[in-house]
Structure 1
Amino acid sequence: MVDNPLADAQRESAGASTFGKYNFQFHWALCEVIKKHEQQKEYAILIEYHEDVVIANTLEADKATFEFYQVKNQSATFTADSLTKRKKGAKKALKSSVLGKLLGSCLNKQYEDRITTIGLVSSGGFSFNLEKELKLDVIKMGDIAEDELAVLTQNIHNELGIVVLPEHLQFIIPEIQLKNQEDYVLSNFARLVDKLFPGALCNAVSIYRAVVDEMGRIGRLEYDYKDWARLIEKKSLTSTSIHQVITLHSNHPCVDDIKNDFDDLVNDLGWRSNRKRNIKRRLSLLALRRAGFMSALDIDVANSFLVSHGKVNEDDFCSDAEFVDALVQQAIKDGLLKNVKDQDELLIEVIYCLLKAE
């Protein structure tokens, strides 16, 4: 069991309970998912866990770094004063400011040195005095005029005792807006599939609905997780899970080719029709997934089966059935069962390697 580097007590969990009010934040998060997927980067995205959106750059706990985002859908424009204004709560105690709440999630935590971006996203934008009077959609610390930065810093110092604002703090104006969020994300999924699999056919609506439903599910979970693997399983969307959804609702000529090759091969294997259909379906999904985005795990698994395949000489066998059986036995001998879920998946990997090598 690997410890979860984010296993600090969360500031609050009320956001998870009222998740239905926050469609905008997870539509914005989906835009970030699509950007990273286009770049074929590995990631895990967490909703309502320490912050509105947290993105890990890998699925490996010991290597993960994090982006923390608070997402606001509002018409009002944030100023230095409104960002750091503290309202009175119960018994006249001062509440956290918007910026103070975000920084409080990130600073003086066990994971602080692993955060690469602290972002405040607001559909209403920001009104700062900027150096060179630039019009920016991503405002970094170095872009803000000294007098404006001094106001922000002094107010946050009074609230949190912070002397210098983090250099990786950013203020972000999103392209997506509330009125077009569904259509915007849906069209971006369609473009993503076209970029991953040029010439592919996809059902963008089904992809969108499946991902949005899953994001809603993970957003409603309120638990903390000490174990990293359970956090990823229960509370995140990953590059792998998103890609599985995309491949499930897409089709590409490369899949037709491998299905035709499989049909030629399977005639000599003597399988019953049910087994043939099941293996063919799973083989097709594997082929499409690897055609568009090879994760680090996919690369390792594919390479290990390729090495194992090279140890068996096809000329030593009288039939394809004997050859495939020998490849399976060699893969088992090489310990490759530990790399897959079950014996059927090992067989699929063997066939995939065989057909891709031809």
Structure 2
Amino acid sequence: MLTRKMQSISPRESGGSTGLKGLDYQNHWAICLLLKLHATEDDYAILIEHWDDVVSLDGTCPPKKINFYQVKDHKKLSLTDILRYDPKKSGDSSIIGKMHSLYKDFGESVEGCYLVTSRPITDSNSKEIISNSEYKCLKDLQECSNITTKIEKETGESCGRFVYVLRFMNSELSRKGYCEQLKGIIYDFFKKKYKCDIDVDAFYRTILPDITKKGALIFKEFQNVDMLITQKGFKRVDIENFIKETISSARHTDIDKVVEKLLTESDYEFGLRYAIKEKIKKYRSEKMQYSNDVIFELELDIITGIKKTISVSKTIRTIVSEVASGLDPQRGYKKIYSEEFITGAIYYETAKIYGEL
């Protein structure tokens, strides 16, 4: 069973040769994969920087199939490069050799081992082995026989099913400008699947730090698959929550009118109006990074405080100040969130009550 293998096989050692730019590229590509998987109706989960750069599963209850993605951001990469290793160095493996090792460890559960590259891999004649973003199996390459011989020499084993499992894929993101390219992909995803425009930057700024954080975490022991995914990846429901919050925010774009309702004549000034708008927008964006339970506790306390404090004779600044000072300092969110974040939450909830945000 796949879950037993997942619990018994240690993750790869961190701190390899991948530089910061390479990791950033990997994380951006992982978002591409998430959106591609989410565009279907199938269940899925992904892991960041565990057994491979990115790992996908066909669900969580329990998973039966696993895919590995080795993501390379290179100016130029040839078949010779990905098969290169030093037989004199103990434990040295080529890129393909490492992928074969994962295939061997996880056996029949492996659906695909993908080598994803920012530029097409070239063959011995400097010809690109694949010309679009679809993948090609090793079996489909003209040099399959030659590559298979080299893999078997390195591993000491027959390739067998690996010629179908090993797959070469061109990335949707190029080496230059991949941040903006990803934002374009995010925009297209929401337009096609949800038929709506959204704040692309808000979604991008929320999900990318979460992916980076999960990738940096070293997590070797876990009791079940759900625990592993919570710490090192995302389930379908996690991305659905990101998306719901993004769409919800996009449907409340007229913040100007809401803020006007918040301000009385005595404290109506351009600077304050702009400041409140920015606090509400920032809070909306940042709150997607946190646990729903903790956010719920914070928002419930704020709403209770607003209802106790609310008065037509009070200015918005007075209301926010009184609600903030009335929050219990022993609550969990006081230890997690900054005062700026909590202030943004108070403005946000006040806007919902006063201005029907």
Question: Could you say whether these structures have the same fold, taking a TM-score greater than 0.5 normalized by the shorter chain as the test?
Answer: yes
Query: Are the aligned partners of 1:66 and 1:117 in contact in 2 as well (CA < 8 Å)?
Result: yes
- Encode CA deviations 1:301-355: one digit per residue, 9 max, x unaligned: xxxxxxxxxxxxxxxxxxxxxxxxxxxxxxxxxxxxxxxxxxxxxxxxxxxxxxx
5+ long unaligned stretches in structure 2: 253-357
| Cα pair distance change 1:15/1:26, threshold 3 Å | farther
Aligned twin of 2:289: none
- Within the candidate set 142, 153, 160, 2:155 is matched to 160
Alignment of 1:89-238 (within 5 A): 92-93=89-90, 95-107=92-104, 109=105, 111-128=106-123, 135=131, 137=133, 138-145=135-142, 148-164=143-159, 166=162, 167-198=164-195, 200-226=196-222, 227-238=224-235
Query: Are the aligned partners of 1:128 and 1:144 in contact in 2 as well (CA < 8 Å)?
Result: no
- Encode CA deviations 1:109-159: one digit per residue, 9 max, x unaligned: 2x32111111111223222379xx9745422123212xx222212221121
How many residue pairs are counted as aligned between the two chains? 245
TM-score, length-scaled by structure 1:
0.61
Aligned twin of 1:36: 37
**d(CA) in 2 for partners of 1:183, 1:233:** 28
| Cα pair distance change 1:20/1:197, threshold 3 Å | same
In the TM superposition, what is the alpha-carbon distance from 1:97 to its structure 2 partner? 0.8
SS of 2:98's equivalent?
helix
Query: Are the aligned partners of 1:19 and 1:219 in contact in 2 as well (CA < 8 Å)?
Result: no
Query: Are the aligned partners of 1:16 and 1:219 in contact in 2 as well (CA < 8 Å)?
Result: no
**d(CA) in 1 for partners of 2:229, 2:243:** 19
Determine whether 1:14 maps to 2:9: no
Query: Are the aligned partners of 1:19 and 1:216 in contact in 2 as well (CA < 8 Å)?
Result: no
**d(CA) in 1 for partners of 2:65, 2:152:** 26
**d(CA) in 2 for partners of 1:253, 1:84:** 48
| RMSD, aligned CA | 3.1
What letter is aligned with 2:75? Answer: S
| Cα pair distance change 1:86/1:225, threshold 3 Å | same
**d(CA) in 1 for partners of 2:220, 2:16:** 14
In the TM superposition, what is the alpha-carbon distance from 1:18 to its structure 2 partner? 6.6
In the TM superposition, what is the alpha-carbon distance from 1:3 to its structure 2 partner? 5.2
In the TM superposition, what is the alpha-carbon distance from 1:217 to its structure 2 partner? 0.9
Aligned twin of 1:86: 85
**d(CA) in 2 for partners of 1:45, 1:239:** 9
**d(CA) in 1 for partners of 2:93, 2:107:** 19
**d(CA) in 2 for partners of 1:197, 1:150:** 45
- Encode CA deviations 1:246-274: one digit per residue, 9 max, x unaligned: 1112139999xxxxxxxxxxxxxxxxxxx
In the TM superposition, what is the alpha-carbon distance from 1:10 to its structure 2 partner? 2.1
**d(CA) in 2 for partners of 1:88, 1:142:** 25
**d(CA) in 2 for partners of 1:139, 1:24:** 22
Query: Are the aligned partners of 2:55 and 2:66 in contact in 1 as well (CA < 8 Å)?
Result: yes
| Cα pair distance change 1:95/1:206, threshold 3 Å | same
Aligned twin of 1:58: 59
SS of 1:164's equivalent?
coil
SS of 1:241's equivalent?
helix
SS of 1:50's equivalent?
coil
- Within the candidate set 226, 240, 245, 2:242 is matched to 245
Query: Are the aligned partners of 1:70 and 1:119 in contact in 2 as well (CA < 8 Å)?
Result: yes
SS of 1:202's equivalent?
coil
**d(CA) in 2 for partners of 1:121, 1:201:** 29
What letter is aligned with 1:74? Answer: H
Query: Are the aligned partners of 1:78 and 1:124 in contact in 2 as well (CA < 8 Å)?
Result: no
Aligned twin of 2:326: none
| Cα pair distance change 1:152/1:67, threshold 3 Å | same
Aligned twin of 1:307: none
| Cα pair distance change 1:136/1:16, threshold 3 Å | closer
- Encode CA deviations 1:268-304: one digit per residue, 9 max, x unaligned: xxxxxxxxxxxxxxxxxxxxxxxxxxxxxxxxxxxxx
In the TM superposition, what is the alpha-carbon distance from 1:94 to its structure 2 partner? 6.1
5+ long unaligned stretches in structure 1: 256-358
TM-score, length-scaled by structure 2:
0.61
Aligned twin of 1:76: 76
SS of 1:14's equivalent?
coil
| Cα pair distance change 1:196/1:4, threshold 3 Å | farther
RCO (CA 8 Å, sep 6+): is it higher in 1 or 2?
A: 1
**d(CA) in 2 for partners of 1:190, 1:136:** 21
**d(CA) in 2 for partners of 1:4, 1:233:** 18
